[in-house]
Amino acid sequence: MLKSALLALALVSAPAAATHYRAEPASAPATDKFVARDTVWTCGEGACEAGQSNSRPQVVCTAVVRKLGALRAFTVAGEPLSAEELDRCNARAR
């Protein structure tokens, strides 16, 4: 019984999807939620976050800048894109 209760508590308190991508737009986004390619993004104070997708990071970044415009930073699993990679991504901004 105790094991069942602990398992149920763990399942209820676990997040639905862990943050894998984090984008910091240069200007505030017009919406708090959007879909870019195959990823659902949620925006809050100064950043937008999403779970992992099957696309390469550069493809995901490009999809985001086409929705939001230029980014100040883009992070994948806690690792930021290099300045050069971010510049290439931002070159595709709307």
Residue 12: its pLDDT value, please? 39
Domain boundaries, the chain: 17-90
- pTM of the complete model: 0.79
With cut-offs at 50, 70 and 90, classify the pLDDT of residue 15. Answer: very low
- Give Cα 84 distance to the centre of its chain: 19
The per-residue DSSP string of 15-67 comes to -SS---EEEEESS--S-SEEEETTEEEEE-SS-EEE---SS-HHHHHHHHHHH
Pairwise CA distance, residues 8 & 46, whole Å: 34
Size (the chain), residues? 94
**pLDDT one-digit tens code per residue, 32-52:** 999 999 899 999 989 999 999
Are 85 and 58 contacting, i.e. CB atoms less than 8 angstroms apart? yes
